[in-house]
Structure 1
Amino acid sequence: MKQKLLYTIGGVGIGLMLAAVFRDIEQWAVTLGLFLVVFAIIARFFWDKTRLT
């Protein structure tokens, strides 16, 4: 469940960044997309760490 949620968050972030490349959208959307991708990667890493212990 958590993994699917993280993939969704990461997918939305990537989608926002791709949309910014092909369309001239606001800078905050690019920043938000980048933040979502980074958040998903970091959260997944930490959840993997906590599951192993």
Structure 2
Amino acid sequence: MDDRERQWRVSGYSGSGADCVAVAFGTRVGARDSKNPRGDAPGFPTSSWPAFGRALTR
């Protein structure tokens, strides 16, 4: 996925945004380290996003 053109979002709970994951939504969901915006940004199907969120809360 071409992540440079996407609008990346960081949670409001992240404070300064220095230690969190940024996500971008499109035909796939991209995830990247907010400290390394030029690094790898794996993408996965948008249908997987709810399961990803549930896994984080466990």
Pairwise TM-score range, normalised by the shorter structure: under 0.3
| Structure holding more strand per residue | 2
TM-score by length of 2: 0.26
Greater relative contact order (CA < 8 Å, ≥ 6 in sequence): 1
Structure number with larger C-alpha Rg: 1
TM-score by length of 1: 0.28
